[in-house]
């Protein structure tokens, strides 16, 4: 968060920067803000994709179901590593990418009936592969597994093809924008953007320079030898 500290407070505050940890809120306030955040986040997604003619004409669903699960994390469990922006945006996008790629491969089967017979395999591979990809890229976000699965098993989403990727990316950005606004009123979000900061007391100590035993023994030997008297002329 050191870079955020260089920004004006009116900006850095809404990006999660705090000069000191925020005070702990009573449980009822946490519950209230979680409700407000989830309500606003899901409403924004449905308003954009369910009422914009541009998305309606392209057969985009009013909301991708996996974002209901994301709402639990980014509005309710905002301190969890799995709820941070890198996991939210990266996890959903990679899940969608893996799901579409694997589904496209299965759609190369000779007939639609054959694809439907192997739909279970397509969905299983999409979900399992997306988990591994998220682990490799440190973007693990549990709801993103459903994002990959939907690309293979949901007819409406499957028919979107590659257009599923920008829709997922926009959904993540909108959900994140609402989280930054609501969660930073009395709480703090995100805890980190790309990787968690290492506390000072957990940082490894600097390695002390160990003297070379050979050089030490040589120096001590030289010091022990008698020195010749030098007369001044």
Q: What is the pLDDT of residue 181?
A: 96
pTM of the model: 0.80
Tokens of 11: 């900006």
Cα distance between the two ends of the chain: 69
Q: For the chain, what are the domain ranges?
A: 4-183
| In the predicted structure, residue 217 carries a pLDDT above the cut 90 | no
pLDDT above 90 covers what percent of the chain?
Answer: 70
Q: Using CA atoms, how far apart are residues 148 and 69, in angstroms rounded to an integer?
A: 14
Q: Is 97 left (phi over 0), alpha (psi -120 to 50) or beta?
A: alpha
233: confidence class by pLDDT, cuts 50, 70, 90: very low
Binning pLDDT at 50, 70 and 90, where does residue 205 land?
A: low
Provide the pLDDT for residue 232.
44
Q: Which among 31, 35, 69 has a CA at the least distance from the CA of 171?
A: 69
- Give me the pLDDT at residue 207, please: 55
Distances (CA, A) of 152 to 170, 178, 228: 20, 28, 90
Residue 31 pLDDT grade (very low, low, confident, very high; cuts 50, 70, 90): very high
CA distance 77 to 34: 8
- The closest of 179, 169, 168 to 64, measured between CA atoms, is 168
Q: What is the pLDDT of residues 109-141, one digit of tens each?
A: 999 999 999 999 999 999 999 999 999 999 999
CB-side exposure of 143: number of CA atoms within 13 Å?
Answer: 23
Tens digit of each residue's pLDDT (9 = 90 or more) over 154-189 = 999 999 999 999 999 999 999 999 999 999 999 999
């Amino acid at each position: 968060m050191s870079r955020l500290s260089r920004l004006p407070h009116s900006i850095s505050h809404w990006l999660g920067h705090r000069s000191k940890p925020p005070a702990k809120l009573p449980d009822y306030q946490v519950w209230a803000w979680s409700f407000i955040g989830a309500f606003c986040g899901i409403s924004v997604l449905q308003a954009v994709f369910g009422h914009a003619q541009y998305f309606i004409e392209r057969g985009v669903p009013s909301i991708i179901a996996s974002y209901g699960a994301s709402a639990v994390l980014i509005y309710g469990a905002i301190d969890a590593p799995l709820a941070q922006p890198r996991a939210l945006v990266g996890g959903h996008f990679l899940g969608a990418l893996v799901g579409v790629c694997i589904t496209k491969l299965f759609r190369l089967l000779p007939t639609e009936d054959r694809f439907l017979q192997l739909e279970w395999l397509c969905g299983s591979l999409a979900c399992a592969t997306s988990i591994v990809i998220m682990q490799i890229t440190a973007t693990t976000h549990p709801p993103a597994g459903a994002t990959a699965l939907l690309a293979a098993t949901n007819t409406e989403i499957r028919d979107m093809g590659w257009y599923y990727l920008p829709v997922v990316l926009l959904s993540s950005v909108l959900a994140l924008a609402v989280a930054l606004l609501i969660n930073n009123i009395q709480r703090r979000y995100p805890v980190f953007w790309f990787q968690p900061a290492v506390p000072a007391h957990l940082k490894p100590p600097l390695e002390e320079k160990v003297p070379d035993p050979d050089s030490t023994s040589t120096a001590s030997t030289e010091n022990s030898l008698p020195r010749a008297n030098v007369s001044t002329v």
